[in-house]
Amino acid sequence: MQSANAAELLAQIRVHGAIPRHVAIIMDGNGRWARERRMPRPFGHRSGMRSVREVIEGAVEVGLEVLSLFAFSQENWQRPPTEITALMSLLEEYVAREADELHERGVRVRALGALERLTPDASAAVARVVERTARNDRLTLNLFISYSARAELARAARLLAEEAARGDLDPSTVDEAAFAARLYTAACPDPDLLIRTSGEQRISNFLLWQVAYAELHVSRVLWPDFTRRDLYAAIRDFQMRERRFGRVPA
């Protein structure tokens, strides 16, 4: 499988059938990629934009329903102001450059996270691409921006508590489905496959509830070097797994 190119891997995926409905990716390694080239970290983030395009095109080609990309965490706000400014500018640039093509490819963009923390220009850019693509249905692209899974869980608990306090919800009826319905991802199936690039083996506060039964695939490729071939290799790996969800064969 390592020597197969993207087209060969795509053909193998189609033969073997079980394509994940939802793939989530922790895009890691931009800073390391830039450091290896003696360049500043924002150079790595900019280079990573090519991989975002590659993976979206690959997701459409292979037939995914949902692709979730961890673009910016709430913890990332603690980075140096110059890097944050560069990231916000890149977000605006990405929308300006890619919105029309995303729309033409039938991609519906959703932005999930504490979006109120974005700069006004970045917030406006995100709102534009979300509105532009709202009626598309070929692929749902979840961009997690200013996101924290723990904060998301706390928010869901708070929403349930507020509904109960108003008398709109009987606390005895709260179950997993009720909780999941208050998450940002309520409209999406849970990820079947979680990919992390750069070789790190951490979930990093991403989709803690939703990835409970996801298959994990760690790629040693740094994000700016990640291509659709790497996406397809992860999906082929997924297809060779036995998913039991806690059960065993009879």
Catalytic residue numbers, as ranges: 28, 76
DSSP code, position 246: T
Cα(99)–Cα(148) distance, integer angstroms: 25
Measured at the alpha carbon of residue 21, what is the angle toward residues 15 and 23, in degrees to the nearest 5? 105
Strands 139-147 and 215-218: unpaired
Backbone torsion region of residue 140, taken as left when φ is above 0, otherwise alpha when ψ lies between -120 and 50, otherwise beta: beta
State the burial class of residue 155 (Cβ atoms within 10 Å of its Cβ: 0-12, 13-18, 19+): middle
3-state DSSP assignment of residue 68: strand
Cα(219)–Cα(234) distance, integer angstroms: 8
Hunting for tokens 């900019």 — which residue is that? 46
3-state DSSP assignment of residue 63: coil
Cα(103)–Cα(137) distance, integer angstroms: 10
Cα(179)–Cα(183) distance, integer angstroms: 7
Task: Give me Rg for the CA atoms of the chain.
Answer: 19
